[in-house]
A and B are shown apart, each in its own frame.
Chain A
Amino acid sequence: MSLIHLSVWDLALASGLVLLLAALSWRLHLGVERQVLIAALRSTVQLMLIGLVLKQLFAQTHLALIGLMVLVMLSVASWEVRSRQKHCYRGMWGYGIGALSLFVSSFSVTLLALMVIIRVNPWYQPQYMIPLLGMMLGNTMSGVAIALDHLTRQAREARGCIEARLLLGATWEEAITGIRRDALRSGLIPIVNAMAAAGLVSLPGMMTGQILAGSPPLEAAKYQLLIMFLISAGTGLGTVAAVWIGSQRLFDERQRLRLDRLA
């Protein structure tokens, strides 16, 4: 099997389908045609750009350049976590909690994969590192965002119950424990579902890509498994870190519930 190159014409044909969708939306007064077109345009520009950047990056294996790329990925991911919160933390915390937990989880798991499992040499070889880290960040980001959103929403709704427990002499950890558990669970459900449905309902995106690009299916499946395990570990770690820091930030040194720290 060999890789079949896509021509501009092939892509134009596929994009025609998106135009059709936009036309349909306009005809049926769904009002999403603008968003569809803008999103399609954005993804075109972003992916072409990243293709160009990666081409340069792969050709050089320069640590500083890779570091810069990684930094950009991390900041965009933390920004995304923040913007998905209905009531995000005020000040630097809104950004910082996401950034810190993403950093700790995605980086440690990616490093482990590169140095111990795949054993790339040098470990920062971008052809392995950037896609791996991208997958990790993308998935961990969703887990962290969902869990934090759940935590802050629930804390606002259950203010009376939390304070009632504090008033009866509970510590802040006792008062928030149920909400914290729910938040963790909600952050982990997507990846657990994805693992359970993998292969039966849908072929995961990465595996599909590898097969289309000519890899033997069994090799593709093995890589997919590796990624899934890494992603669940990373998501778990990141979600735990975010909920831990986030719930601590909800209380102050006198163990008062500080909802004024949320926007």
Chain B
Amino acid sequence: MAGLRLEGLSTALLRDVHLTLAAGERLFLSGASGSGKSLLLRAIADLDPHRGEVWLDDIPRSRLPPPEWRRRVGLLPSESYWWAKTVGEHWPASTTHLKPERLLNMLGFDTDVCGWPITRLSTGERQRLALARLLLNQPQALLLDEATAHLDPVNRSRVETVLEDYGNICNAALLWVSHDPEQRARLGGRRLVIRKNRLEPEI
């Protein structure tokens, strides 16, 4: 449905990035910490000042209001933040007609998780719920910053399944920052690595 195209994107660490992801394509990005992976994702989501343009299919980012762009191109940061008291208060207001039960079940939660206080959640639970929160927006492309970093093997494979399903069913482009070489090999897809401020194919 929606491909993602970066056109001359420059962040503090990467210069002039040109990159095209077809609709439904999965691309893994790796590189030493501090090499600028997260900054690149933040730039695509338009969270930091930078140069360059991003296209979602044939729509340039500059044509969309920023909130609309960020809903369509969903970024999952490596650390999740929660501003209200309970989990349910963080679900997007516009999708309340959409039932989160199935998604929550697939991520290993009962529906009563909506009433849980945030303070009760573990880091791993927060990470999975942050993914649920993001997917309820039904983004057309996903930017994932170490989506499984704090998870045990069972939950990691749950998250991987949810993301694979989402990419296949919604035909969404997935740009996935992952430190885990096994994960990159297991899930398959194009692989790039950041070396010396450049994007190169991972060998």
Contacts and interface: CB of A to CB of B under 8 A. Distances in A.
A167 B41 CA distance: 11
A176 to B, nearest CB: 11
A90 B163 CA distance: 42
Interface string B79-90: 111110000000
Interface stretch (A37-45, A47-55, A156-164): A156-164
A168 B137 CA distance: 7
A161 B75 CA distance: 14
Contact of B68 (A163, A169, A252, A256): A169
Contacts of B71: 168-169
B160 interface: no
A170 interface: yes
A127 interface: no
Nearest to A164: B81
A262 to B, nearest CB: 15
Interface string A36-73: 00000000000000000000000000000000000000
Nearest to B66: A255
B46 A256 contact: yes
B66 A167 contact: no
Interface string B142-159: 000000000000000000
A171 B49 contact: no
Contact of A254 (B66, B80, B134): B66
Interface bin, chain A: 10 to 19
B70 A167 contact: yes
Nearest to B46: A254
A165 interface: yes
Interface in A88-103: none
B83 A165 contact: yes
A125 to B, nearest CB: 51
B46 A163 contact: no
A178 interface: yes
Interface in B89-107: 92, 94
Given A167-B77, A256-B48, A161 B82 contact: yes
A254 B81 CA distance: 21
A169 B46 CA distance: 12
Contacts of B80: 164
Contact of A164 (B65, B68, B83, B137): B83
Of A161, A168, A170, A252, chain B has the most CB atoms within 10 Å of the CB of A168
A171 B79 contact: no
A166 interface: yes
Contact of B137 (A169, A252, A254): A169
B40 to A, nearest CB: 15
A247 B82 CA distance: 21
B46 to A, nearest CB: 5
22 contacts: A160-B79, A160-B81, A161-B81, A163-B81, A164-B80, A164-B82, A164-B83, A165-B83, A166-B66, A167-B70, A167-B75, A167-B134, A168-B133, A169-B67, A169-B70, A169-B71, A169-B94, A171-B67, A254-B66, A255-B66, A256-B48, A256-B66
